[in-house]
Amino acid sequence: MNKLEWIQKKVYSTDALLRDCNAWRMMGKKIVFTNGCFDILHHGHLDLLARAASLGNTLIVGVNTDASVQRLKGPTRPVTQEQDRAFQIASLLCTDAVCLFDEDTPETLIKLLRPDILVKGGDYTIDKIVGADFVQQNGGQVHIIPFVDGYSTTGLISRIRGL
């Protein structure tokens, strides 16, 4: 398998991801889940993903679809199309699987996949993390990864527009 095929294989449909997630669980792998829009991939995103991956054996990343990003961020977003964002996340060595989701939150995907560890960035508190209660009630953990100062997609877009 060439590198392009290897990357493409990491972008999953929900059904295929559930199948592989169950297989990983049967192999004793600790499954970590995080999610986001990842509209313009930057250092803060990469830090979050690498730290999330270090918490388990298999990192699954939920990526908001274009429609979902637009509902959450407004009519000028996303800047990068969903298939491109999924490909970028899948191309990272620390990422094992990527799955697009169309809802405003990944709650349905979290309940379907039942990750051992749920990870979000530093702008969240545990009571605001969608799926945290579900993961904890099923014996899992929730981790909040601190932000890397100076990195945000909104900030990058503002700087680009100001040039």
Q: Quick one: pLDDT at residue 111?
A: 98
Q: Give dist(CA 79, CA 66) in Å, integer.
A: 9
Fill in the DSSP letter of residue 116: S
Residue-range domain boundaries for the chain: 3-103+113-162
pLDDT at 100 over 90: yes
Which CATH entry fits the domain spanning 3-103+113-162: 3.20.170.30, 3.40.50.300, 3.40.50.620, 3.40.50.10330?
Answer: 3.40.50.620
What's the whole-number mean pLDDT along residues 3-32?
Answer: 97
Residue 139 confidence (pLDDT): 98
Per-residue model confidence (pLDDT) at position 104: 96
pLDDT, tens digit (0-9, with 9 covering 90-100), for 102-157: 999 999 999 999 999 999 998 889 999 999 999 999 999 999 999 877 666 666 66
CA dist 56 and 33 (Å) reads 10
Lowest-confidence segment of 26-40, 41-55, 115-129, 147-161 by average pLDDT: 147-161
Residue 102: the pLDDT is: 98
Q: What's the CA gap between 119 and 127, in Å, rounded?
A: 13
Number of residues that this document lists for the chain: 163
Instruction: Say if pTM beats, i.e. exceeds, 0.85.
Output: yes
> What per-residue confidence (pLDDT) applies to 124?
84
Rounded to the nearest integer, the mean pLDDT of the chain is 93
Is the pLDDT at 40 greater than 70, yes or no? yes
Token representation of residue 64: 């908001």
pLDDT at 162: 74
